[in-house]
Structures are given as C-alpha cells and as structure tokens.
Amino acid sequence: MAAMQLTGTVTPDRPLLVLAVAEEAAYLDGELPVLLTGIGKVNAALALATVLATGPRPSEVINLGTAGALRPGLAGRTHVIGTVLQHDLDDRVLALLTGHSYGDPITLAADGPTLATGDLFVSDPVAREQLAARAHLVDMEGYALAAAAQLAGVPIRLVKHVSDEAGEGAAKAWRESVDDCAKVLAAWLAEDRGTA
C-alpha cells in the first residue's frame, strides 16, 4: 500500500484538497493542505478517515482528480459530481444475503454527472459499455472519499477532469494527459477560490 502524504496544515477555516497521486497535484500552489491518498478505494478511505479522525477537520474536502468518460461528449471537460456509486460492489446480492444495504449511491449535489468508483482501471470496451448504463464517468477513489467525509460530517465535492475514454488505450491516454489534467484542475481550483 502506498503511504498517504499530507502537506500543509489542516484548519477548520479552509478546505482540504485530496488527490490520489502527485501527478494530479503537480500545479497546485501549496496555499491549501493537500492529502495524497494513493490509488484505489482502500487507500483513499484509510487516508481521508485518518486525517479527519486526527483533526482538526477542514471546512470541506475537495477531491480533485482524473476520470474516464463512459459516454460521448464528456471528454476534455471538468465535472463537479452530482452522485457517486460503487461499481464493483454487488449491493443487491449483499442485501439478499443479509437484509441490509451496503454502499448505496451518495448524492453530493442536485445536479451533475454520476461517477462510478471501483478498484478497476476501466480499459475494456465491454466493461465500459456496462458501466455507461449506470454512470457518466469512472474513477478509483471518489466513492470512498465521499463515504469517509459523509461519515465524519464534513462536506465534500468531487471534481473530475476527463483524462481518457475508459476504453482501449485508456492507460496510455491517462499517462499522456495527466499533466494537462493537473493544470486544468489547478486552474479550476483557483477560479473556485476566486484567486484566478
């Protein structure tokens, strides 16, 4: 497991920026605290839960990151997520077995695309097609971060810039576009904070 890395000091009067990897954070100005979680749901949940439990808690969590597009017309844009779900947890079967629901979708905003999170880098066209029926975008950390923040009572926004089309060649496309995505995400943050 990649070790989490927190730079800066978390304070109750400002947000905590959360990203999976350093490549996505390359152009952040260092004014706000940044948590790098590592890739995947377990790393993301453990890192954010640890920071929030240690305290103090930030005013909000802003997850900046890359995502794959599952549907046409989403590439090259930055999206603030409306709903996030887990695509690799079969909640229907678990509910039948236990009578309880685990991992219901989390609504973060009244509008915005749906993000599917799972511990699978989606590059298979068949998997992409199946996911597209449920979501607009796919990533590997969003749901875990939203669940950890929700449990701690801290507001969270998931902001994703599309790095690839989540199909054949997605890994190569991500490697080639992550630097440009990091620039766009830093610009989005500056505009959001009114410092652009």
Specify the pLDDT at position 94.
63
- Class of residue 170 by CB neighbours under 10 A (exposed 0-12, middle 13-18, buried 19+): buried
All structural domains of the chain:
5-186 (3.40.50.1580)
Specify the pLDDT at position 58.
98
Specify the pLDDT at position 123.
77
Tell me the pairing of strands 83-86 and 114-117: parallel
Specify the pLDDT at position 136.
97
* DSSP-derived secondary structure letter, 28: -
Map residue 131 onto helix, strand or coil: helix
**pLDDT tens for the 196 residues of the chain, in order:** 467 999 999 999 999 999 999 999 999 999 999 999 999 999 999 999 999 999 899 999 999 999 999 999 998 899 999 999 998 867 676 667 778 777 899 999 999 999 999 998 887 888 889 999 999 999 999 999 999 999 999 999 999 999 877 666 666 777 788 899 999 999 999 999 987 5
Specify the pLDDT at position 25.
97
